[in-house]
Structure 1
Amino acid sequence: MLHHYYRIRSARMTNMWRRWRGQDQHESEPLDHEKMIKDLRTAIGPLSGHTLKFCTDACLMRYLEARSWNLEKAKKMLEETIEWRSNYKPEEIRWHEVANEGETGKVSRANFVDRYGRPVLIMRPGKQNTKTGDGNVRHLVYLIENAILNLPEGQEQMSWLIDFSGYSMNASNIQLKTTRDILNVLQNHYPERLAIVVLYNPPKIFQAFYKVVSYFIDPKTHLKIKFVYPNDKASAEIMKSYFDTENLPSEFGGNTGFSLKYDHEEFSKLMAEDDIKNAKFWDSEIKPVAVNDTNGHYVEP
C-alpha cells in the first residue's frame, strides 16, 4: 500500500515537472503543431502592417520551438519581439546608416552558402573598427535581416563563421555589455535562426572571455557553438558536415585558392540592391541614395 502511495506521488511530481517545463503532454502523444500555431495566433490577437507580415506560421513555430512548445512562454517571447521591432524597426535600417561599421569587413554576408544552401555571415573580430556598442548591434541586426531576406525557400536558418585572425582583446574594443546586447537580440528576437556558429581558431585569451559570456548564452544556442581548430581531425569533420570545403575560404581550412577578401565598395553596392528588395518585401518607401565610388560610402544623390 505504501509502495502504491509513493508511485502515485512520484507520478504527480513528474507531471508537475513537465508542466513547469511546458511538457505536460505524455511523451507518447505527439504535439499538434498546427493547432498550437493557431492557438498562439489567437493568443496574440489581431495584427496589422509589418507585424502581420512578420508573424507568419513559420515565425510562430520558431517561437514555440524556442520555448519548448509552451504556449504562454512563446506568447510572452513573441510579444516582447513585436514590441522590440515596433521600437527598433530592424526592417527599416538601410545600409548607408550602418556602412561605416562595415568598412573593414568585420561582419559581412559571404559570397557562398553552407552545405544546405543557407546564407553565411562572416565575422572577423580582429577587424573591429568602432567602439560604439549601439552601432555594432545595429550593424549586426541589419546583416541578420539581410541574411533572412536571402534565405532560400524552405530554409529558416543561417550559419555564422567567426575568424579570429588578428584578434586581441585590446583590438576588438567589444565590451561585455555589447556582447550581452548582441546575445539578447539574437536569442530573444531571432529564435531558431542559427544553424551553427563556428569559432575558428580562437586564442586562449578569447576562451577566458567566453567563459564569462557563456553565462548569458541560452542552452539551445550553446549547443550550436563549435570551437574549431586547424589540423584537428574532429574540427575538420565539423566543417565538412556543414560546408563544402571546396567553396570554403582558406581561412577556415577550405580551398587554398580561395581567401577572404572584403571589398567595401562592391559589398555596399550589393547591400543597396538588397535594400530595394527589402523595401519591396515590407512595402516600405526607400529614399534614393548613391554610392561614392571613392570610398564606398553612401551619400545623398
Structure 2
Amino acid sequence: MFRRKHTHDHGEIDSSQQDAKVKELKLALGTLSGRSSKLCTDACLRRYLEARNWNVDKAKKMIEETLKWRATYKPEEIRWHEVAHEGETGKVSRANFRDRDGRTVLIMRPGKQNTTSAEGNIRHLVYLLENAILNLPEGQEQMSWLIDFTGFSVSTSLSVRTARDIINILQNHYPERLAVAFLYNPPRIFQAFWKVAVRYFLDPKTSQKVKFVYPNNEDSVELMRSFFDVENLPKEFGGNATLEYDHEEFSRLMAEDDLKAAKVWGFGDKPCNLANGPVGDNVALKSLPNGYLKAEVAPEPF
C-alpha cells in the first residue's frame, strides 16, 4: 500500500528472498506466449506475490485466473469509441497531472453518473484502468484515485451488485495497482452505501488504501498536500487549479492512446475504427458535450 514492508506467514521477507520468489513463480507458470508473456513481467509477478503475501502457490493461482479473465474479457482490446458514451459527463477520467510520486491519477465523480448499464460502467472503468497503467512512468506500478462526491445521491450511485463486481475485478485482476484512493468530502448518505456495498467486499489491504478526507479537517488537508502539489490539484479537492472536462479533447487523447496500446499489446494492424477521426467513424465528435480534465496550471514534472 504505502510502501510498507512485505510480509508472509514466516515473517519479513527481504529483497533477495523476493527475487527468489519471483523466479520460483516464473518457473511454476511455465512458458508463456503472446499477450500472457507481455503481461507477466517480473514487476507483475511481484505485485501478485505481494497480494498473496509472497505465497507462490496462491500467487500462481491468482495469475492464472487473471489470464483466463483477460482471455475472455480482453480488456486490452477495448477501444474508446466503444465506451465513449459512458464518459460524456466526465464521471471517470485520467487527470493531466500526476501525484508527487509520478503516479497516474484517475478522477472519479459519481455524482455525474449518466447511464444505468452495469456492463457499460464496468467496461468504461476497465478501459480507464488499462489506460492509466499504459501512462505510468517507467518504474512506477501504481495509480492514485481522487473521488469527488459533489452531486452524489442514491439515484446516481451504482448498484450493490455492480460495486461488488467492480471490486472483484480490481482486487483479483489489478492487484497492487492502487496506491491510494481519496474519498473527498463524502456525504452522510454515502456512509451507508460504503458499509453495505463497498467496505464489506474489500480485502483489508485495499481497505487501508481508502482515505476519507474532509476540507475542514486539518489532517485531511495535510494528507492531500503530502500527495499532491496544490497548484495542480483541482479546487474540488482543496487545490488551486481549475477542473474542466472537455469530452472532445479527452476523446482525442484516448484515441491516440488506443493506437499506442495496440502497439504495446502487439496488434497494431488490428482495425479499431480510428483511421478516419479521433474516435472513429462510429462517433460524431460534434455531438459530444464538453468535458476533459484540465488543470489550468503548469503540470508537475513526470
- Quickly say closer, same or farther: Cα 1:101–1:114, change in 2 above 3 A: same
Residue in structure 1 matching 2:260, options 270, 277, 281: 277
Q: 1:296: Cα distance to partner?
A: 3.9
**Which of the two has greater helix per residue?**
1
Q: Which residue number corresponds to residue 130 of structure 1? A: 115
In 2, the alpha carbon distance for the partners of 1:111 and 1:74 equals 34
The one-character-per-residue Cα deviations of 1:86-126 (angstroms, maximum 9, x if unpaired) are 11110110000100100000000001111111110000000
Q: 1:295: Cα distance to partner?
A: 2.2
Q: Which residue number corresponds to residue 268 of structure 1? A: 251
Q: How does 1:1-150 map to 2 (within 5 A)?
A: 22-24=8-10, 27=12, 32-150=17-135
In 2, the alpha carbon distance for the partners of 1:160 and 1:30 equals 28
8 Å Cα contact 1:279/1:286 also seen in 2: no
- Quickly say closer, same or farther: Cα 1:29–1:117, change in 2 above 3 A: closer
Q: 1:31: Cα distance to partner?
A: 5.9
The answer to whether the aligner puts 1:185 opposite 2:169 as a matched pair is yes
Q: Which runs of 5+ in 2 are unaligned?
A: 1-6, 279-283, 290-302
> TM-score when scaled to structure 1?
0.87
Q: Which residue number corresponds to residue 232 of structure 1? A: 217
- Quickly say closer, same or farther: Cα 1:29–1:225, change in 2 above 3 A: closer
* One-letter identity of the residue aligned with 1:276: L
- Quickly say closer, same or farther: Cα 1:81–1:29, change in 2 above 3 A: closer
Instruction: Give the greater-gyration-radius structure (CA).
Output: 1
Q: Which runs of 5+ in 1 are unaligned?
A: 1-20
In 2, the alpha carbon distance for the partners of 1:170 and 1:22 equals 43
- Quickly say closer, same or farther: Cα 1:28–1:190, change in 2 above 3 A: closer
Higher relative contact order (CA 8 A, sep 6+): 2
> TM-score when scaled to structure 2?
0.87
Q: Which residue number corresponds to residue 247 of structure 1? A: 232
In 1, the alpha carbon distance for the partners of 2:144 and 2:181 equals 6
RMSD (CA atoms): 1.6
In 2, the alpha carbon distance for the partners of 1:163 and 1:225 equals 13
In 1, the alpha carbon distance for the partners of 2:23 and 2:209 equals 29
8 Å Cα contact 1:268/1:296 also seen in 2: no
Task: Report SS of the residue matched to 1:59.
Answer: helix
Identity %: 65
8 Å Cα contact 2:75/2:127 also seen in 1: yes
